[in-house]
Structure 1
Amino acid sequence: MGGCPSKSSSPDNPQGVWDLPPNALEVNAQRSSAQAECNQANSSSKGAVDLPQATTSASAQPAQPQYSPVALPEDASSNKNDPRTADAESRIFADSEFSTSGIPLSALREFLTEFAHALETGMSTAEMCAQVIKPATETARCSYAQLLDSRGVRVETANIFVSHAWRYTFAELAQAVLSLERTEDRPEDLFVWIDVFSVNQHKSAQRDFTWWSTTFRCAVRDIGHTLVVLAPFQDPIPLTRAWCLFEIFSTVDTGARLDLRLSSAEEEAFKGLLQAGEFDFNQWVATVNLERSEAWDPEDRARILDAVQASGGIGTLNTQVIEALRSWLVDQGWRGLAALDTEERSSSGLISSLAILLRDQGKLEEAAPLYREVLHARCAKLGEGHPETLNAMNNLANLLRDQGKLSEAEPLCREALEERRAKLGNEHPQTLKSIHNLAHLLRDQGKLDEAALHYREALEGRRAKLGEKHPDTLTSMDGLANLLKRQGKLGEAELWHRAALEGMRAKLGSEHPDTLKCMNNLANVLRDQGKLFEAETFFCEVLEARRAKLGCRHPHTLNTVTNLSELLREQGKLDEAELLYREALEGRAASLGRDHPEYLKTLSSLANVLKKQGKLSEAERLHRRALKGMRLKVGDEHPETLACIHYLSNLLRHQGKLSEAEALCSEVLGGHRAKLGNEHPQTLKSIHNLAHLLRDQGKLDEAALHYREALEGRRAQLGEKHPDTLTSMDGLANLLKRQGKLGEAELLHRAALEGMRAKLGSEHPDTLTCMNNLASVLRGQGKLCEAETFFCEVLEVRRKKLGNDHPQTLKSIHNLAHLLRDQGKLDEAEPVYREALEGRRAKLGERHPDTLTTMDGLANLLKKKGKLGEAERLHRETLEGMRVKLGSEHPDTLACMNNLANVLRDQIKLSEAEPLSCEALKGRRVTLGSEHPQTLKSIYNMAHLLRDQGRFEEAELMYREALEGRRTKLGEEHPDTLTTMDSLANILRRLRKLDEAESLNHAALEGMVAKLGNEHPDTLTCMNNMANLLRDQGNLLEAESLYHKVLAGRREHLGDNHPHTRASAINLDKFYRDQRE
């Protein structure tokens, strides 16, 4: 009804009637809540009340009517007993709800004929109401539909509700509605509700918004079919008016059919744009946003927004409107093609326009045959070497690239290039464009060196032919910079991006699309270098400009939103990142649809943020939804599908669902090997990721093979100093640490760190991660002072670059606390643990896995300080949180369970500790397998518990199982193997099996001295146990010498106040007392 006229409506308030082809789109969204509202409204209905009067401004209202009023027939108007009069009066004055009277199409056509001389002036619907309708009905003060009824014209209950903008010309509105005569099977049975005819314009009934949101919406539902007139087509006024959008919302929300229609003139203009390939759908719908819509009365607008928000949200309405527009547009394209004969079709630009539209919507499989048809037609009509044929070949290649069919796209790109070289020469702009396009494809295939040659050829050719500052030259410069980024040459890439950006600003202006694209690319390379704040500045500038130039819903704008979201995620601004991802998701749902690959990519990115926030269940649900959509939309082997599989696999690994994660990770690797080959960077990345997962599963030998394959492949393909190569080096070093090859791990970590400092800088996030890993291996070797230096450097930089509450900063604080605990600096470690805990609680939430990990670490520290009651309480709280958040069989949950068992054991609550130890062991056997290092650790801990219970024989068996498992899994010289050997020797000493105990002690001590050094804490512990054995064997002089050596070593490396140092002093004192006694 043109945006339901409110109590303050005016002719400047466009109120909609919209119209569209009969088969355009039907939206059937039945909602039980809307149905209930309607039923309630109908149960209290008193009849029908006319809509409020539509008024006009002073400038639009003439001083005197230009046309004579048309009165009711004299007998009817004067005779109160005339049935027609009684009936008319009952509808006009007695109805209290909503008049659904509709006029036939024939009456509308007669009206156009009768008042043609007036309508030819181009008067708007508002002007027509004031100058024709109101004067014509002045005497009877009724609606025009009632006037027609009194004349004997057939007026029935409407079966089409027309929505339109009052400020647009009435003649165009009428033509759009009358086009139903050409398209509907029985147009004589159509009765249209048009507000200017069906509403009594002399009554001014005022309704609160409840009436509009119930009675009116129910009337829309009962009519069952809303026709929206898009006028003018290139900038449809109804899409900017709150009342019109509310009518569409009421239509969709109550399950009525929604159609769109153009006037004949607008339809011809639209077809011309499609034929010429000049129609930009994304630009067309960029303004569709209820939040920015207008209404004559601000209170009306606010109530509309509230009503829509309560019934599914503004984003939902925007999506529904744009999906309707998109479907209508595609339908128009298909219908236009169907109307062409073979000859017309082969030469029509419509087929190309439709193919582009389908491609933009992500309907790649539907677009592909059209692109192929265009290429075939141009080959047949123009010849293979014709420029238009080569353009079509290039377009098909681009589509195939979007589909991930890179090997199929490459020969087309090469053929187009060779034809252009032959026909036009190497320096022709079209040839240079083909060189640039081939470089782009080669880059996507991972053929980086070949791509670099083509990018440089295109750049040099354009410089020579077009000049340094030509936009095409600058585009090649930007493309080369992107290639250099892929090659890991980030500093060089940054320089090229800056040069290109400077040229584009000067040549094209700061807000030109190509300038903004270049700025976006520069921001990406700055982000990869860890220059996060400068990157954020550029992303924000691009986003502001694109919002202003293209609108919030345009794909380029939404791309920038997602880029900024990614940056905020890396900065640890997770809540801000989540909001922006949700904005992008809503925008892509509206402009592209919920099954478009870009929507699904954004869904997966949002899931990654939720994972970082610890919202693992929601993240998994979104990842699975995105993956399902990608499999259906683009196929199992498409790069975007494989990316979704990777993200889901990564989440499952984080959740401890390692078997499913491995299966998905293997699928990704298989897909990349098949599609891209073994040496493609994406394939090598997948190999690295699988190695990481295998490591977490304890499949260390298999993981080592994959790490080495990834490292060698990256060295060969990308070079020794590429960031990805250095990352693989760091990953292999972590694996070697797990295998107990600490010296080899240290060397590799140092090499990776040196490379990253040189390539990325000392403050780059990847450099800091590598430094942190080196510190961890140094801690494992007992080189605690050097480890502390590295941990402190990492923490200092992260505080400076990321802030105190960034998740990575909090991780560094946690790691430093862990080291201080290992150094025996227990009082110093506690406030650091508490800082990490409070920061993670505030930033990530009480139940985030990282928060729970820090809670568990603090509990372990409190145990070391002898605060066993507080430690037990904290462990129990942590375990409860992990059971809820991660599940009882997650590796972190089982580790916490084990730690709680240990603190209970220290409190001599052995009967409580045993079932927890058993549960942890059983869970690890089931989840990880009997040979996993964590399972072997549980077996070892269980042996400890049995020892403390005095069950020495049972303890011996468990120690032996742990020792054999560690020997097999980790090797004879692994620190964990040597520690188990030492513990078994200890229990054998208690069982008086002194010879075997001595043999094991000697072997363990010799191995630790060789592996860890004389002064490592574990070496000193083993030495202390050896002294105990010698004492029991009566070798007192040797025992005394070892006791002194242990005490001196602990004093030097752990300090006098460390618990181990104090224990050594007590042991030596007891040794001397025993000798005196």
Structure 2
Amino acid sequence: MADQRLTHGVSVAAVRRFLGDLKREFPDTYTEMTTEDACKQLVVPRTRQDNCAYVEQLRKQSPEHVNKATVFVSHAWRYKIADVLNVLLEFAEEQARKDDGQPVFFWFDLFMNNQNANVTANLPQEWWSTTFKQSIANIGHVLLVLMPWRDPVPLTRAWCLWEIFCGISNESTEVTIQLPNSEEQALENAIRDSYTAVTDTLVRVQAERADAFNPHDKHMIFTAIESWAGGFSAVNQAVKDQLRAWCLQKAVGAVEAMRARGEDSTDAYARLCGQVATVLSQFGEHDRAIAYYETALPLHLKTEGEKGKNVAALYGSLGNAYDSKGEHNKAIAFYEKALAIKVETLGEKHPSTAKTYNNLGTAYYSKGDYDKTVAYFEKALAVMVETLGEKHPSTAKTYNNLGNAYGDKGDFDKAIELCKKALAITVETLGEKHPSTADTHNNLGNAYKGKGDYDRAVELYEKALDIKVETVGEKHPGTAQTYGNIGSVYHSKGDYDKAIAYHEKALAIYVGTLGEKHLSIAETYNSFGIAYHSKGEFDRAIHYYDKALAIKVETVGEKHPSTADTYGNLGSAYHSKGDYDRAIHFHEKDLAITVEALGEKHPSVATSCFNIGLLHDTRGDKEQACASIQQALDIFTSTLGPDHPNTRKAERNLRRIRGGAVTRQHTSTQHVSESQLQQQHVLAHRNLLLRFISSAVVYQAFAPQRNLLMRFLGAVAQVHAEARRPANTGSDGEDKKTGTGHGCPRGYSAPARALYKDACKCPGEPLIGWLRKRGRRRAAFRPCWCKLDDDGHLAYGKSASGTAKRRIPLSSVQSAELAHGGEELHVAVPGRTFVFRLHAHSDTSLADWCTAINSRINATT
């Protein structure tokens, strides 16, 4: 194929002349002739003798009608040729009315290729993926002739899909979809009745099922698609997105056309505005959607009254739009209006009423009010069961909603129970191999992950993945989400490299199907950041958090809870780096946005306060640290309850910083004696120093002195742990084991001895409690009950009352150190390192365990 056939085109006048030739030579049949008919009956007979393309004859006869192509025409050869040519002429007229008014020259394969030979037969595979694609980019404009809109033939043809994708995948190439003028009104009417029905018709794109007249062409195109990033899924999604955008453009144009015709006070106009608003909301343009909904609302109120069906639907849609914007109070107000109408007109026991209860539950879920969330989901469930029955997909969905809510409340057993009910119903009603079944496996996996049963969570996520791949394909956002879930649970297991590998799979699919600028991609970058943060690679973590932040600001805006989350993650990363000024800057941005978006009493606000408290603690501002973490504790207690892992974590850290009793909101303040205050004072200084030497920066900078400091602090903790035992001293008051007063090892300075002696005066508690221990060969972290035995062992087992599974002699411990920014405790013995993490019900920090173990090591050496 000569290069000029890839770059040159024919003029509008040449197209018009060819249409005239058809009319003259086939006056009775030209309107029914397809492009293939025109090729065989007119083009081939005219060019057979010269064995050339039609454009070559045109160039000889009228060279002014051949020039550099400005538009590449994508069409189906089964179309009627007169319709195709008329679309080209209509398009040219529209272009002529534009300001630039540049002449149009069409690259139209009927004219440009030699129809006497198979011009693609001997082209190498590379031509399809490079030369052809680059040719379209050079032309710069693809015109897709789409007809009839109810059964768009090009979307079933391999050539057309490849041509469209070649245009879409180049940012500088414009893609225009054109209908014949005769079909425009029919499309407008269809959009007004149901925009969703129109888009469903247009986006049934499955490139892998597309066909071609020439099997060789089909093979070459399919190979080119498979070699492209994202493969068939990427092509399908790109074409669907282009068609949805075009359909939206047509819908908005239809509204403007009705307004121009003076039809903007009609019921039909109101319905069209509602349809346009719905699709705008689907595209994430919630402000524009709200404007169209608000245009439709007074028209429906005028024709139907306050209790009209369309009025209730609009209130619900406005609620959805505001909920998507993060304005949950406004969303609730509109949902309540919709509910009032539905209860009065349809009754309490109606599926549509149940749907509004579900919407209210979702809005309160976003607000963090889980008690109200559960109440509304339970109302929805009761109505669903009564009206649709227990064995119905909608009932299963509501069980899933309830399960997710209980999971966020920290009641993972209840969440598992509800998700199992949902799974049983879904399997029975929709089958095992259904995307909804996969979603329920995912929800059940989330519950087990929350409970700490990571192996079970992985098993469920992998079931979900198998179903997703089989039902919606490997290259699908739902499949990517499941890969992300698996990555998340491996992160919880402490296998950060494996977590990153799964997040990379998710990212590749998201980019191929959703494009670079999508919230799901931002969340995946966030997950990368969290994984690298846990690995101690803080600069890489910040790099990914920055990428996530840029997308979130662009897609959902600066003042969105999701954006606030990423500011918080950046704060934590800079905290770990030791850049405390930047850390406080980002944490305060996180807090300000979260309060503005979600209100002061929301778990996310508590998380922000907690992070700020930890930062103040690291900087040595004990008073401010306690104030912030107390605020977090109060919010966690009131929103999630006293037994939620987040509440216990805040309480545990507050106890650590204060060194003594912690009061919760709505509980009586305990009396603190003078001796308890003294103990708090000593513990606070010990913990402050411990956090200082354990911080990421100092931990590395003072490596040579770290063991000495840890051993000293461990000795302090040992005194606390031994305080309740009978004193093991001689008549001179010296410890027989060490030969120094109050058990202080030899060689400490006078200030160190003084601090040690103060510590000796304070009562202590035995070090026991729940931790999570990683299995051998980097298996899952499993809950275990741990205790430092009186006879010099670190023991762990399945429960507090059972026999210890293993007792590690402290005399064999080579080192006990905090790792991964203090998130793990590594206890090394010859040939093995035991790795521990905090459990959701831990009452003692890993720093305290580390200190105590080192103190015992010191006591035995």
Q: TM-score, normalised by structure 2?
A: 0.71
Contact 2:58 2:66 in 1 (8 A): no
Aligned ranges 1:671-750 → 2 under 5 Å: 671-736=593-658
Aligned ranges 1:828-977 → 2 under 5 Å: 828-830=812-814
Contact 2:277 2:292 in 1 (8 A): yes
Deviations 1:265-301 (A, max 9, x none): 7766654553312248699668578999998368845
Hey, what does 1:657 align to over in structure 2?
Answer: 579
- Aligned match of 1:190 in 86, 101, 104? 104
Q: What amino acid is the match of 1:646? A: G
User: Secondary structure at the residue paired with 2:774?
Assistant: helix
Q: Cα offset for 1:194?
A: 1.0
Hey, what does 2:326 align to over in structure 1?
Answer: 404
Contact 2:59 2:65 in 1 (8 A): yes
Hey, what does 1:338 align to over in structure 2?
Answer: 256
Contact 1:571 1:806 in 2 (8 A): yes
Contact 1:700 1:735 in 2 (8 A): yes
Contact 2:315 2:334 in 1 (8 A): yes
Matched, 1:134 2:44: yes
Distance 1:587 1:703 in 2: 42
Distance 2:768 2:778 in 1: 17
Q: What amino acid is the match of 2:355? A: K
Change (3 A) 1:203 1:492: closer
Q: Cα offset for 1:401?
A: 0.9
User: Secondary structure at the residue paired with 1:200?
Assistant: coil
Aligned ranges 1:255-294 → 2 under 5 Å: 255-263=172-180, 270-271=187-188, 273-275=190-192, 276-279=194-197
Q: What amino acid is the match of 1:642? A: A
Q: What amino acid is the match of 1:381? A: T
- Aligned match of 2:486 in 554, 557, 564? 564
Contact 1:142 1:200 in 2 (8 A): yes
- Aligned match of 1:421 in 333, 340, 343? 343
Q: Cα offset for 1:411?
A: 1.6
- Aligned match of 2:450 in 528, 534, 538? 528
Hey, what does 2:355 align to over in structure 1?
Answer: 433
Change (3 A) 1:707 1:252: closer
Q: What amino acid is the match of 2:249? A: D
Distance 2:541 2:330 in 1: 35
Q: What amino acid is the match of 1:676? A: L
Distance 1:647 1:826 in 2: 37
Contact 1:684 1:714 in 2 (8 A): yes
Distance 1:673 1:254 in 2: 39
Change (3 A) 1:331 1:828: same
Change (3 A) 1:292 1:484: farther
Q: Cα offset for 1:167?
A: 5.4
Distance 2:91 2:77 in 1: 22
**Quick check: which one's strand share is greater?**
2
Change (3 A) 1:293 1:200: closer
Distance 1:548 1:585 in 2: 20
Deviations 1:676-716 (A, max 9, x none): 33332222222222222222222222212222232233333
Change (3 A) 1:594 1:303: closer
Matched, 1:781 2:717: yes
Deviations 1:1014-1048 (A, max 9, x none): x9998xxxxxxxxxxxxxxxxxxxxxxxxxxxxxx
Distance 2:652 2:200 in 1: 44
Distance 1:183 1:545 in 2: 48
Distance 1:852 1:567 in 2: 16
Distance 1:188 1:706 in 2: 65
Matched, 1:1054 2:836: no
Hey, what does 1:805 align to over in structure 2?
Answer: 778
Q: Cα offset for 1:419?
A: 2.5
Deviations 1:49-108 (A, max 9, x none): 576xxxxxxxxxxxxxxxxxxxxxxxxxxxxxxxxxxxxxxxxxxxxx976555633134
Q: Cα offset for 1:513?
A: 5.1
Hey, what does 2:216 align to over in structure 1?
Answer: 296
Q: Cα offset for 1:236?
A: 6.3
Distance 1:173 1:669 in 2: 58
Contact 2:354 2:384 in 1 (8 A): yes
Q: Cα offset for 1:257?
A: 3.6
Hey, what does 1:229 align to over in structure 2?
Answer: 145
Q: Cα offset for 1:543?
A: 3.7
Q: Cα offset for 1:394?
A: 0.7
Q: Cα RMSD between the aligned structures? A: 5.1
Q: Cα offset for 1:324?
A: 4.6
Contact 1:225 1:259 in 2 (8 A): yes
Hey, what does 1:105 align to over in structure 2?
Answer: 15
Hey, what does 1:347 align to over in structure 2?
Answer: 268
Deviations 1:111-147 (A, max 9, x none): 5534475566674x45653455323422332222344
Hey, what does 2:282 align to over in structure 1?
Answer: 360
Hey, what does 1:888 align to over in structure 2?
Answer: none
Change (3 A) 1:243 1:300: farther
Q: Cα offset for 1:400?
A: 0.6
Distance 2:198 2:822 in 1: 47
Distance 1:265 1:617 in 2: 59
Matched, 1:180 2:91: yes
Change (3 A) 1:293 1:542: farther
Larger radius of gyration: 1
Q: Cα offset for 1:790?
A: 8.3
Q: Cα offset for 1:263?
A: 4.6
Q: Cα offset for 1:405?
A: 0.6
Change (3 A) 1:243 1:184: closer
Change (3 A) 1:744 1:496: farther
- Aligned match of 1:456 in 356, 372, 378? 378
Distance 2:205 2:768 in 1: 51
Bigger mean CA offset, 439-448 vs 391-400: 439-448
Q: Cα offset for 1:228?
A: 3.0
Bigger mean CA offset, 493-502 vs 204-213: 204-213
User: Secondary structure at the residue paired with 2:546?
Assistant: helix
Bigger mean CA offset, 405-414 vs 100-109: 100-109
Q: What count of residue pairs does the alignment treat as equivalent?
A: 729
Q: What amino acid is the match of 2:105? A: F
Distance 1:541 1:287 in 2: 27
Hey, what does 2:566 align to over in structure 1?
Answer: 644
Q: What amino acid is the match of 1:296? A: H
Hey, what does 1:328 align to over in structure 2?
Answer: 246
User: Secondary structure at the residue paired with 1:463?
Assistant: helix
Hey, what does 1:157 align to over in structure 2?
Answer: 67
Contact 1:778 1:784 in 2 (8 A): no
Change (3 A) 1:306 1:326: same
Aligned ranges 1:471-482 → 2 under 5 Å: 471-482=393-404
Distance 1:185 1:302 in 2: 37
Q: What amino acid is the match of 2:108? A: I
Q: What amino acid is the match of 2:143? A: L
Contact 1:143 1:198 in 2 (8 A): yes
Q: TM-score, normalised by structure 1?
A: 0.58
Distance 1:215 1:515 in 2: 44
Change (3 A) 1:780 1:327: farther
Contact 2:128 2:220 in 1 (8 A): no
Hey, what does 2:166 align to over in structure 1?
Answer: 249
Hey, what does 2:547 align to over in structure 1?
Answer: 625
User: Secondary structure at the residue paired with 2:777?
Assistant: coil
Structure 2 unaligned residues grouped into runs of 5+: 662-675, 685-711, 723-763, 795-806, 831-846
Contact 1:291 1:314 in 2 (8 A): no
Q: Cα offset for 1:725?
A: 1.8
Q: Cα offset for 1:150?
A: 6.0
Contact 1:565 1:581 in 2 (8 A): yes
